[in-house]
Amino acid sequence: MHHFQIPPFISQLGTRLPTPVASAPLLILLNLAQHLKYLTPSEEFEGKVFQIKVKDFGLNPLFSCRNRRFVHASSTPADVTFYANAIDYLRLAAGLDDADTLFFQRKLGIEGDTALGTAVKYWLDATPRPDLGAILQKLGLSQHAHQHQHQPQTQTQATH
């Protein structure tokens, strides 16, 4: 089975991005998921610093939970760090794989506070995975696709 690999220049670029820039897309997605009621940070995550290393992109975003919101964290050491390739994070987010499967396949790693890492794993496992079409509809971005799917069909008249 052939696996797609990110070109090396992309991961080199990712390592040069300042942490706030590298963290911005993740924070946008996390807060959007929270706004759409897909994610609600657990109280035990309050004040904790998380790092999500995206190995193949060379990204190491940091974030924290404060007042039940996902926010950028300074460059202080993370309480827990997860590391995987982008495709594995996408499979996890889409519900195609669970954290245990990826962990035992050595595609997902956890460093630091393992109790906190386990709490995150249980939290993710209990989180319903969103339907991408439903998200686009909530954001008002599916109108074109919706119109395309429901175009009037021409009917042939039956001749007797």
Judge: domain 8-127, CATH 3.40.50.970.
no
How large a percentage of the chain has pLDDT more than 90? Answer: 29
pTM score of the predicted model: 0.73
Q: Please give the C-alpha separations between residue 60 and each of 95, 126, 135, in angstroms, as whole numbers.
A: 23, 25, 26
pLDDT of residue 132: 60
Q: Which amino acid is at 46?
A: E
Band of residue 19 on the pLDDT scale cut at 50, 70, 90:
confident
Cα–Cα distance for residue pair 39/105, rounded to 1 Å = 26
